[in-house]
Every structure is written in C-alpha cells, then in structure tokens.
Chains A and B, each alone.
Chain A
Amino acid sequence: MVGQKSFGENIGVVVNSALLSVVYFAGVGVTSIVAKIGGKKFLEKDLDESGKSYWSDLSLGKKQIREYYRQF
C-alpha cells in the first residue's frame, strides 16, 4: 500500500510538473514575449539616478468592510 501510494504521488508530481511546464511556456512565456515587444514592464527595476525620490503614492486606509472580504 505504501509503495502504491508513493508511486501514485510520484506520478502526480510528474503530471503536475508537465502541466506546469506547459503553463509556463505557453502562458507565462507568451505573455512575457508579447509584453516585451509592447514595452510593458511587469517589475519596475530601473534606477533613476537623477530623480529626487522613489516614493510612490499609496492610499491604504479604511474602506468599506465589504472590500475586505475580497482576496484582492
């Protein structure tokens, strides 16, 4: 039984990895390439040596309670 279970788990890992690889290259990869062509940045990494500040506006304060039931 133990052998069967770990065999099942191993198969699960292989299937998961295969699926994730497909998602990675088809989903993440294509999005990334399209984004790079379109000049869209997903992480803001550039330095602005001559700029005065890196602070960006945030308005994190009280909202309606129902807003907090959302996970985003």
Chain B
Amino acid sequence: MGSKYVLGVSCFYHDASAALLKDEVVVAAAEEERFTRKKHDASFPVNAIKYCLGSQSININDVDYIGFYEKPFLKFERILYQHIDSFPKSYKTFVSALPSWFSEKLRVVKMFKKKLNCKKPILFIEHHLAHAASTFLVSPFKEAAILTVDGVGEWTTTAYGFGKENEINLIKEIKFPHSLGLLYSTITAYLGFSVNNSEYKVMGLSPYGNMDRKTNPYYDKLKQVIDIKQDGSYRLDMSYFVYHYKDRMPSQKLCNLLGGPVEKRGVDMTQRHKDIAAALQMITEEVITKILKHIHSETKMDDLVIAGGVALNSVYNGKILRNTPFEKIWIQPNASDGGTSIGVASYIYHTLLRHKRSYKFDNAYLGPSFSTDEVKSFLDKNSIRYDTFKDEKDLIEKTSSLLFEDKVIGWFQKGMEWGPRALGARSILSNPLNPKMQEILNAKVKHREKFRPFAPVVCAEDAKVYFDCDDPLPEPVDYMLMVYSIKEKWRNKIPSVTHVDGSGRLQTIRRNQNRQYYDLIKAFGKKSGIPILINTSFNIRGEPIVCTPYDAYKCMMGTGIDYLVIDKFIVKRDNNLQHAWDSEKYTND
C-alpha cells in the first residue's frame, strides 16, 4: 500500500497556510504571506498549497484527504446572530463585510475547484478542535490536558479538554462575545497598535509598566471589564467593547475608563500606556493560571499542550510550569491560526482514519529550501558579486569572525521556518555583547520601537548557564515560545538581548535541528566567551520573513545588513551597491 497524503488548509481570517502530511509526518508547511509578500495574508493559500504538493512532486489529485480549519456555516451563523443582536448598530459592518462571505468564505469547495481544479470533497473540522489537534497530535505526549484560547472560532473562544493516544475531547468552552484573545486585541488597538499583528508588542511593553497589582491603577480599572470566576472561566462586560458590531474594538466607555481616546498609530509610549499594557498582561496571566489549575484538577493529567493566539504569549508561557501543577508543556511553533492546517491534517490522519501516533514534531524547517545550484544560478544570473566558502568549517569560521567584528549577517540556510519566528533558517544574526548593537540593528535594518530588545539564541545545553529556565528545558523554548529570566551576572554582558525586567525571549537550538547554526553559535562563543547570538527575523520592516534567495538579497540591499550568508556563498552588500535601495521609503508598518 502506498503512502497517504493529507492536506490541511486555513484561510480567510488571518495567516492563511497549508500543511501536507505524508502518512503521519508533516513533510511541508508554509504560510501564504511568505509567497505573496503580504504580511498575515488571509487569502486562499494557493501558493502555499502548490509549494506543499511540489515538495513531494505530487499534484492535488494525489492527495487522499483535504481538510479545512473551521466549519464556515457555523461561523456565518455567529456573524448573523451578532447582527440580529445589535441591529441597527451593525448596519455599516453588515454592508461592508457580508459580500466577502458570499464571494469566498462560504465557497471553500468552489475555491479549491477554481484555484486548483480540485474536485475532491473537503472535510471541515471545528476550529478549536483544529487548534487542539495542531498541538496535541504532534506533541511528544500520549496523554495530555489541552487548552485552546484565541480571538474566536465559530463560536468558541476558549476551550479545554484532554487528548489520549489519537483522540481528542474538548469538554468545556467559553463562547463569543466573551474572549480573552479579543480583550488582548482590544487593548492592543487602544494603545495604537495593529490588531492581529502587534499583540506581541503590547506583551513586550508590559515589563516597562508597573507589574504590581496593588499600585498599578489600571489593574483595578481593567478588572471592571472582566468577571473572572475561581475556575478561570470569565465573561466580559460588553459595554466596554464594540467589536461584536463594529469594525473597531474599544467602546467610548472603555476609553473613559482608561482615561483617554484610542491612541494614534506610532505614538510614543508613556508610563500610562506601559501601565495599561502591564495591567492587561497581569489579568491575562491571572485568568490563564486559574484556568490551568482548574484543568489540572479536572483532568488529573500532568502534561499540558496549548494552542491559539494566546499561546504565543511567551512571557506567560515561561511562567506556566512555575505557576501551575503541570509538569511538562508542549506548544507547536505556529500556535495561532496559521498552525491549524497541521491540526486538521493530523486530525484526519490520526483521529478520523484511526492511525496510531508515532510522529513527534521536532523540525520547524518545513518551508521552501533551495539547492546550492539554485542559489548559485540566482547569484550568477543577477550579476551579484559573491565569494564561495571552501567548506563548512570555513563558512563557520569566517561568519563567526564577522559576527565578532560586529557585522550584521543575513543568514539563509535550510527550509524556511514554520510559524511566526525566525529560527536560524531566515534570520538576521549579530553580536549581543556589543552594548550598541540594539541601536545598530535598529538603525541598519529593524527600525523597531525602542522598548523592544532583540532575542538571544543559545545552544540547548548552554541555556541553563545563562537563563533561569525550567529544568528539564521544555521543547517550546526551541521555537522562542517561552521567556525566561537572564541570570543576573550575565545581564550587563549581553545588554541588547536583555529586557528591562532582566528577561530574554530565547531560542534554544540542538545540533540535530540545524547543524550549521549550532556550530556558528559555538564558534562565536569561542571568540567572545559567550556562546549567544542575537537572532532576529530576516525581513524588511512591515514585510513577512524572506522566503527565497531573491527576497533575502533584496532585503539586504534595501537595508543595512552587511553580509548575506546563503548556502555556501557569502555576498557583501558593499560589493553590490548597484542594487542598493532604501526599503524605509516603502515600508508600511
């Protein structure tokens, strides 16, 4: 019997993606934004699907099953109910948002026919089940408690249950309009950041605020908008919100409560903003901690998997094992909606088709990769000046020297990462020991808000030396999903990766995951005394992470990255100034 192929697809909300299983193994997965170059592209992921199929040299007719990440009619029902509930206040959104339901969101089957000439039936998996499957079915656990928290699926916004072998049961839920994810997004919008994009910035801002419940005035204020029960279940006072009938989120009443109007995009953050972010983070942590303690007492399971947008709250994730009775935790790197394509495919293969589980997710490099010949031909065709490393040792030696000399390196190796973080395949690397490096990186490439430090990468076995991390080291740290404290004595040695509260959002790397990256960090450590690098995503501000050699080269030439190390080649920006341009003139972030 030949292999079975199962394709999972998510789209039309945000972060459209596709994932392909060959039997139980995820062999390819990518988000549509990387191909279309539109950040968080939600459109039907025809490019991501084609990439997945091409990676296995098959076509859509070779796929045995196709799954979609929600039940569209149930979601549409919810939308209609929202309008009925809020009539006539929702008139504007009704007229502006409804057409997309008839043109695409309710026509998923037609979309497959039109875009891929595919006449196969599609399986529709409930959204939170897709979230649950995206983490549990590819986790290392045979049994685990499951928590899913996002903005909203069909109706569910928060659910919990458990997984055993190849089955999942979600047993309790909280329904729209009450949503911890949407509360986080509302405050994100209130602070002048973009919703479904910049929630992580609010999380990054929170340590600058007053993290003391008793003295942060916004903590008590924000507590008025949410009623939290002892078991972690909650409801929002909807008079503080308008997202259930408008295309905005906070109501005037919320603005009054927080003492000012919604902030304009890009405004400088004052202590008041920081305190609001801190209050929000404290309340989020309080709710999730209560929920997790409740789930633990209900399921009596010691292992935990989580998914949904809130599972990207790495600041809180790093506290879970300390704050709750759970002993182990696992999160899939693409924990938000993008990751549900893996969820539906795994759910079909394991749960519906009853295949036992033996696969465990441990390779995030599931996107397009390029052979040495492909890279060389790209460089040659475009008359790009480059040098070739003699061998891998030469590559590691020279690149680590450049890093030690404070050069900023675009690092392009292996398949593109799955999920929102760059993990050493499409990364910008630099020296964290230089106290000016945050400034240098911001001036040359990233142009980030000053309050956001960069992230460190360290080899897994060295993590304990520099960070106060859980022991044993949880695997989600490999995907930058857990923030830990940097040990006091190292903080002033690696200032550009140390947050104001002494924490760092580290990535740990194991040699079997990415040998060159691992060896590079070690070689840098030999020169500098500290085997840690700055790892930040390889992209132009406001754009998705680079996918192809063309994207990478264009990014270097449009920013101030000094060198591009791609496959066994090194391209120096200064040798190719005929292609230089200024990406900041075109950015839209």
Contact = CB atoms under 8 A, between A and B. Distances in A.
Interface of A: 16-17, 20-21, 24-25, 28-29, 31-33, 35, 41-45, 47-49, 51-62, 65, 68-72
A54 B178 contact: yes
A71 B110 CA distance: 13
Closest 7 CB pairs of A and B: A72-B73, A54-B233, A32-B87, A58-B173, A60-B170, A42-B81, A61-B169
Interface in B211-257: 227, 229-231, 233-235, 237-238, 244
Nearest to B228: A54
Interface string B433-477: 000000000000000000000000000000000000000000000
A45 to B, nearest CB: 5
Given A52-B229, A59-B169, A45 B177 contact: yes
Given A20-B94, A55-B233, A71-B72, A62 B351 contact: yes
A54 B235 contact: yes
A68 B66 CA distance: 11
B577 interface: no
B554 interface: no
Contact of B174 (A21, A25, A31, A56): A56
Contact of A60 (B81, B106, B108, B169): B169
A52 to B, nearest CB: 6
A32 B85 contact: yes
Nearest to A70: B124
A20 B230 contact: no
A43 B227 contact: no
Nearest to A57: B172
Given A20-B94, A52-B229, A61-B168, A43 B174 contact: no
Contact of A58 (B67, B99, B171, B231): B171
Interface of B: 67, 71-74, 77, 80-85, 87-88, 90-91, 94-95, 98-99, 106, 108, 121-126, 128-129, 156, 159, 161, 167-178, 227, 229-231, 233-235, 237-238, 244, 348, 351-353
A28 B352 contact: no
Contacts of A31: 84
A35 B84 contact: yes
B84 A69 contact: no
Nearest to B82: A43
Nearest to A54: B233
B161 A24 contact: no
A49 B227 CA distance: 7
Nearest to A32: B87
18 contacts: A16-B99, A24-B88, A24-B91, A28-B94, A32-B84, A43-B176, A44-B175, A45-B177, A52-B229, A52-B230, A56-B175, A58-B172, A60-B159, A60-B161, A68-B348, A69-B123, A71-B71, A71-B74
Q: Which of A16, A44, A72 has the most CB of B within 10 A?
A: A72
A23 to B, nearest CB: 8
Contacts of B90: 28
Given A31-B84, A61-B169, 18 more contacts: A16-B99, A20-B94, A21-B95, A24-B87, A24-B91, A28-B90, A43-B82, A45-B85, A54-B235, A56-B172, A57-B171, A57-B173, A58-B172, A60-B129, A61-B161, A62-B167, A62-B352, A70-B124
Contacts of B87: 24, 28-29, 32-33
Contacts of A60: 126, 128-129, 159, 161, 168-170, 173
Contacts of A21: 91, 95
Contacts of B351: 62
B81 A69 contact: no
Nearest to A72: B73
Contacts of B230: 52
A40 B244 CA distance: 18
A54 to B, nearest CB: 4
Contacts of B353: 65
B235 A47 contact: yes
A52 B82 CA distance: 26
Given A56-B172, A68-B124, A70-B71, A41 B91 contact: no
A17 B98 CA distance: 10
B170 A65 contact: no
B98 A20 contact: yes
Nearest to A51: B229
A53 B175 CA distance: 13
B132 to A, nearest CB: 8
A68 B70 CA distance: 10
B159 to A, nearest CB: 6
Contacts of B85: 32, 41-43, 45
A69 B108 CA distance: 12
Contact of A55 (B77, B173, B177, B238): B173
